[in-house]
Structure 1
Amino acid sequence: MIFAIRQGLLCLLFLWLPLSWAAESGWLRSEQNDHASVRLRADTSAQGETRLLIDVKLEDGWKTYWRSPGEGGVAPSVSWKGDVPAVDWFWPTPARFDVAGITTQGYHQQVTFPLVVRGRAPASLSGVLTLSTCSNVCLLTDYPFSLTPSQEDAGFAHDYAQAMGRVPLAHGLTQTLSAGARDGELIIEAQRSGGWSAPALFLDSAEDADFAKPLIRVDGDKLRATVPVHDSWGEGAPNLRGRTLSLVLADNGVAQESQLIVGDASGADPAGQPFWQVILMALAGGLILNLMPCVLPVLGMKLGSILLVEEKNRQQVRRQFLASVGGILFSFMALALLMTVLRLSNQALGWGIQFQNPWFIGAMVLVMLAFSASLFGLFEFRLPSSMSTRLATYGGEGLAGHFWQGAFATLLATPCSAPFLGTAVAVALAASLPVLWGLFFALGVGMSLPWLLVALRPGLALRLPKPGRWMNGLRRLLGLMMLGSALWLATLLLPHLGFTSQSAAKESVRWQPLSEQAITDALTQHQRVFIDVTAEWCITCKVNKYNVLNTPEVQKALQQSDVVALRGDWTLPSDDITAFLKSRGQVAVPYNQIYGPGLQQGQALPTLLSRDGLLKTLSDAKGETP
């Protein structure tokens, strides 16, 4: 009897101690890293293979990385000791982290990695797990381990199945999926019959290529992701055409891992709109530029100059306005060339970025003052004799002055991001170079339409009232408009001289600096986010500020306890704000966007804000109250 009891106790001891203890490493910690705990477990119940689980627990605010960390970080790895056969490592669907313009892919809080050792494994598995964890600082920590796999463990089987359930499948999410490349960008297109809820894209690293944060656009069941690409030095983009790309596409808890051969990107525009619609937007956007405060005086002066022609000659009027049209088209083609050079040199692209240069602003101020002084009759400003014409010529046979009037009007129009213009310019700067040139030409044609109308129908200009004393009043009015434009341009030099704008004093909203991390932190705390990217040289920004943002209703809404107001000032050059705009397919300001529990992916607002539309979107961002 005593012998039987001893044997039973011995069996229980074997079942409890060797198998349960040796089948896992227990929770491992390091003196150099008290922000992470790891545990390894192993099981041999599957026929012909050994299964392992690596459990990682992280403190709040810390993260570790996916197999392809992104633009920073190190993937977890194991250095095995002894003769260990091939090991398959399975990676759960990661999350994306964006900090200071750098995008990474990984995990936070807790993650479990399933592994499989193919073939006959040693009776005891040992090695060193190397884990990279990051918060404000990054730590690379080694965890030595040793464990003996158990033969059967129901708890392990459950945990292993659960971990494998978080690993992307080979199919089941999309009906169609393709990848294409163009200069500096990778385009992923997918179709899902049930539509998209909260899509996310994760890319494996490629040789000599780094991928920035994807810009994802959804139109019904179609998805299009635009991914900026550059080489490992942050310079020119490598050629991805013909190469095999591995990626994970996820949506609302379902993920699919795919391997694609990269082809040529389709000709569809990044905004998901047909190209002919973008052409129409470019024409409309260019036309609206004539109404901008800096351009309207030039056009008005141009029409007023017709009144000073003693002999009303249709051919002369036609030649003058066609010369101005040539100046407009020349300027837009020069802008297209500048954008092409900037793209090929991997520099920042933006509409109106020349107004971030104090020398350019100063030159424009002097030219506007010269126009104004000429209109007031103080002097007639002449170009060098080689050009043999006046800048603001009123009559005569010379056409160079009219040409440069059109070119000058174009330069003054660029700080404006009017409706339709922003979309067309965004598509142009993100599209292939032939499309970029075509769209900038369409913008030039759109701005030239009023000038072309007079050139084609000179009788419209010749029907203006006959010359008289009233013309002196018109010249003074145009001179005042030019002087006002010059004074406004002069105020743009204040930030370059160290002066700050006083307009913020009229606002009661506590604006915080714009950053991707600030957005992530606010969403983590279930707050709403209102984003305003602006610039002192942006006229449309000022219209939005005075007509919408500074109204009592909007100021009150932005002061609510669950609203975080973020502002990015693009008056001076800023790589961070340029990257922020580019990641959202934008190249111009103003840009406004709202995030929240009900708008996790964010919703961009129209270029021209409306009070009711802003308040409704801000309310929708709150989501359902739990």
Structure 2
Amino acid sequence: MPEVSWFWPTPSRFDVANITTQGYHDEVTFPMIVRGTPPATLSGVLTLSTCSNVCLLTDYPFSVTPTVQNADFAHDYARAMGKVPLRSGLTDSLEVGYRTGELVVTATRAAGWSSPGLYLDTIDDVDFAKPRLRVEGDRLQATVPVTDSWGEKAPDLRDKSLTLVLADGAIAQESTQTIGAASALTPDNAALPFWQVVLMALVGGLILNLMPCVLPVLGMKLGSILLVEEKSRSHIRRQFLASVAGIIASFMALAAFMTLLRLSNHALAWGVQFQNVWFIGFMTLVMLMFSASLFGLFEFRLPSSMTTKLATYGGNGMSGHFWQGAFATLLATPCSAPFLGTAVAVALTASLPTLWGLFLALGLGMSAPWLLVAIRPGLALRLPRPGRWMNVLRRVLGLMMLGSAIWLATLLLPHFGFTASKSAQDNVQWQPLSEQAIQSALAQHKRVFVDVTADWCITCKVNKYNVLQKEDVQAALQQSDVVALRGDWTLPSDDITDFLKTRGQVAVPFNQVYGPGLPEGEALPTLLTRDAVLQTLKKAKGITQ
């Protein structure tokens, strides 16, 4: 019997009714190679799934009579083989790994990527969703959500064999890989050099001092400076070094908290503690104590517990300054700043030593202004002489703290079933966020604007009032071909956590735009601008000018 080898051309992807499949359109040629002495006639039945509005398994009887090759045959055969993926030559490296619920394919190509595509062969009882592709220089990373054939919990794919086709334009490569374990995977930002991530952590921590969510922190700093009047330079230095120690110690405590979550297989995220009703209640109580102390309603001069240390502004010991620094960090965590998101994303997906190192860098970055005063105590002595203005400033700081306490108290409302009313300035018809909603809109050739937010996220509020509720942005989001999807992460949500995780994100706000011109989606900057939103929506439509 002769040996017959079939060759399958690179397929195409089809998205219909929220279902993604791969196959061939209109016409397809399967070249064959017959080794040995061929019979006078090769015959058989080819069973294929043929689809229009519905799909049917169809038998195609065929009969092939080998003939002497001629010019037309040679041309047709060469043309058909030209559509068959190569065995090598496209990628310089290729790795396939699995983590719970998703497959990750990572490939590098020295020539870079222009229009990449990924096609996966089937595995019994496994369903692969549409791959999400991300290109960074010569590195391509494809993330593929995985479920079982019933759409339920994904099976463990480690050590299984997978055949896949990677394409870039007209060039394609087929490869069979053994799926690696989760430890072999790297996060989306792993291509960044470690020193660059450390620098981002330092800058991100520093920028936290300028973010609107740290307005109470500014008040605490001013309150600390009020205490240093008529003090020696050495005393000033010790006070601010104590605050620096508090900031760094609190970041180390956050690192320990994240380590415990990882070891217990819980989701890791920046600011996730603000989803806990007990934490919010504790923070609200402490802020009220700060406010009352600044208004002069009471004052703890002899600290005897952590609570009194937190409330002490007039004590002479260093413990009050240490706890001020620690509390400043907790107040800063609802914010996501430029550079901060990348550094935290790497930290929460890297090894534990890297996590601790990057959180230390975040602490050093945030404490830099305090450290500057510790190094140059004379800066604190340039304030005006003590007088009535100090009492006025204390009341102003008390109002700031009271406002922060009221804001924290509002975060308790969703935990008791109360929801915030829609702003009168927001006329966009927001729909619940889901992967299915994105794919359904794309199948209808619509654009998608994704907004993942939370009530405790101050940066989200800044984006909302400064950008998303502006008239021109509202008009763009209300166009007939735009679907606006919003995910609310105020309370814990596995669906939103998974949505962020598959995109390499660990913090909110997160905004992304999809469309015919951006089928794989494009993430927007942490701090939105009207130009960024409008230009990306325009790009998603396929208009490049």
> Does 2:214 align with 1:295?
yes
Question: What is the RMSD computed on CA atoms of the aligned residues?
Answer: 4.4
> Does 2:234 align with 1:315?
yes
Q: Classify the secondary structure of the residue corresponding to 1:407.
A: helix
Give the alignment partner of residue 368 of structure 1, picking from 266, 287, 290.
287
The aligned counterpart of 1:585 is 504
The aligned counterpart of 1:224 is 140
> Does 2:440 align with 1:521?
yes
The aligned counterpart of 1:390 is 309
The aligned counterpart of 2:106 is 188
The aligned counterpart of 2:93 is 177
| Equivalent residue pairs, number | 530
Q: Give the partner amino acid of 1:538.
A: C
How much identity, in percent, do the aligned residues show?
A: 63
Higher alpha-carbon deviation: 592-601 or 198-207: 198-207
Retained in 2: the 8 A contact 1:236–1:345?
no
Q: Classify the secondary structure of the residue corresponding to 1:499.
A: coil
- Structure of higher RCO (CA pairs closer than 8 Å, 6+ residues apart): 2
Higher alpha-carbon deviation: 114-123 or 511-520: 114-123
Higher alpha-carbon deviation: 157-166 or 443-452: 157-166
Retained in 2: the 8 A contact 1:126–1:146?
yes
> Does 2:482 align with 1:563?
yes
| Partner Cα distance (1:340, 1:235) in 2 | 25
> Does 2:116 align with 1:199?
yes
User: TM-score scaled to structure 2, two decimals?
Assistant: 0.81
Q: CA deviation at 1:425?
A: 1.5
Could you report, residue by residue, the CA deviation over 1:130-149 in whole angstroms, capped at 9, with x for unpaired residues? 9899x9xx99x9x6969575
Could you report, residue by residue, the CA deviation over 1:429-460 in whole angstroms, capped at 9, with x for unpaired residues? 23333322221111111001011112222222
| Partner Cα distance (1:484, 1:435) in 2 | 37
Quick check: which has more Rg, 1 or 2? 1
Q: CA deviation at 1:114?
A: 5.5
Q: Give the partner amino acid of 2:108.
A: A
Q: Give the partner amino acid of 1:451.
A: W
| Partner Cα distance (1:356, 1:383) in 2 | 33
Q: Give the partner amino acid of 1:346.
A: N
Name the CA shift for 1:490/1:567 in 2 (closer, same or farther; >3 Å): same
Name the CA shift for 1:534/1:602 in 2 (closer, same or farther; >3 Å): same
Q: Give the partner amino acid of 1:283.
A: L
Q: Give the partner amino acid of 1:484.
A: G
Name the CA shift for 1:417/1:602 in 2 (closer, same or farther; >3 Å): same
Retained in 2: the 8 A contact 1:169–1:255?
yes
Name the CA shift for 1:146/1:458 in 2 (closer, same or farther; >3 Å): closer
> Does 2:172 align with 1:255?
yes
The aligned counterpart of 1:10 is none
Q: Which runs of structure 2 are paired with 1:324-403 in the superposition (5 Å)?
A: 324-380=243-299, 385=304, 390-403=309-322
| Partner Cα distance (1:451, 1:267) in 2 | 35
Q: Which runs of 5+ in 2 are unaligned?
A: none
Q: Which runs of structure 2 are paired with 1:52-451 in the superposition (5 Å)?
A: 90=8, 92-93=10-11, 95=13, 106-107=22-23, 149-151=63-65, 167-174=84-91, 176-179=92-95, 188-193=106-111, 195-202=112-119, 216-220=133-137, 222-225=138-141, 227=143, 246-259=163-176, 270=189, 272-308=191-227, 311-380=230-299, 385=304, 390-451=309-370
Q: Which runs of 5+ in 1 are unaligned?
A: 1-46, 52-87
Q: Give the partner amino acid of 1:356.
A: Q
| Partner Cα distance (1:398, 1:99) in 2 | 67
Retained in 1: the 8 A contact 2:17–2:440?
no
Give the alignment partner of residue 412 of structure 2, picking from 493, 500, 521.
493
| Partner Cα distance (2:216, 2:8) in 1 | 66
Q: CA deviation at 1:238?
A: 8.6
Q: CA deviation at 1:296?
A: 3.3
User: TM-score scaled to structure 1, two decimals?
Assistant: 0.72
| Partner Cα distance (2:251, 2:220) in 1 | 21
Name the CA shift for 1:469/1:278 in 2 (closer, same or farther; >3 Å): same
Q: Which runs of structure 2 are paired with 1:475-624 in the superposition (5 Å)?
A: 475-623=394-542
| Partner Cα distance (2:431, 2:279) in 1 | 30
Retained in 2: the 8 A contact 1:371–1:392?
yes
Retained in 1: the 8 A contact 2:205–2:365?
yes
Retained in 1: the 8 A contact 2:473–2:534?
yes
